Amino acid sequence: MVKKVFFYSLVTVLLAVSFGCSGHKKMLKTGTNEMKYNTGMDLYEAGDFNKALQFFDILRAVYRGTEKGELLTYYSANCYFQLKDYNIASYYYKQYTQMYPRGEQAKEASFLSAYCHYLDSPRYSLDQTSTYIALKELQLFIDQYPKSNKVEEATRLMDDLRAKLETKSYNIGKLYYKTEDFQAAITSFESLLDDYPDTEYKEDILYYITTAYFTYAEKSIYSKKLERYEKTVEAYNNLVYFYPESKYIKETKEINDAARKHLIN
């Protein structure tokens, strides 16, 4: 008896699913635009974002420039966001702000468009194109909506992205240093300090610059040595000025003393 009940229940579920799938496909092919709109909205509210998008993709052009078109564009972006396809979600949020700049969700869409790029930003070791786009879009949002309650969050997101770029630049400099490309290491580290003067890596960077200049000077031709020993002393002085108790003081003092002897001689 139990097996029979289970069997009939399973058949009922399968029939319902089959009917639902066929009904969904039939609606896409033969339903009126109004019926498709209502079905798409029902699917969206039910959280079936993939199926909802099938209806929204058909209807956006049909209702373009209308209240329904505005909602369809915004909901399309939300669907892709929920599906974690942040690149396409950002596209539709951006499209919403361009097509409906006075729309009810224009401010929210502007923020979410930038936020999608933030979410799409990869770890620091990979290409950072999305990171730069996110920074640009977040700044545009802040400029456009300076009184928004999202400004604080947007600023925090920008800080996170800049920290990622700092880390990438720092590790590039360290890679040059480890491979003994001291000129490239110095250039990379000095550029990082120009871009991020308050970077958390500053103490380490000043250490690497000091030792890199000294080693670079040691390996340079005679006509270039003097200038690079001077740069060694300058870098050491910066380290001592900013970090008088630095863990690198003992090592770099020996380097500084050796560089000064070359300058005296």
Q: Is 70 exposed, middle or buried (0-12, 13-18, 19+ CB in 10 A)?
A: buried
Fold (topology level) of 180-265: Methane Monooxygenase Hydroxylase; Chain G, domain 1 (1.20.58)
Tens of pLDDT, residues 73-84: 999 999 999 999
Tens of pLDDT, residues 109-149: 999 999 999 999 999 889 899 999 999 999 999 999 999 99
CB 217 within 8 A of CB 186: no
Tokens 């006509």 identify what position? 223
Boundaries of every domain in the chain: 180-265
Is 0.85 topped by the overall pTM?
Answer: no
Determine the Cα–Cα distance for residues 120 and 136; give it in Å rounded to an integer: 14
| pLDDT of the residue at 19 | 41
CB 248 within 8 A of CB 203: yes
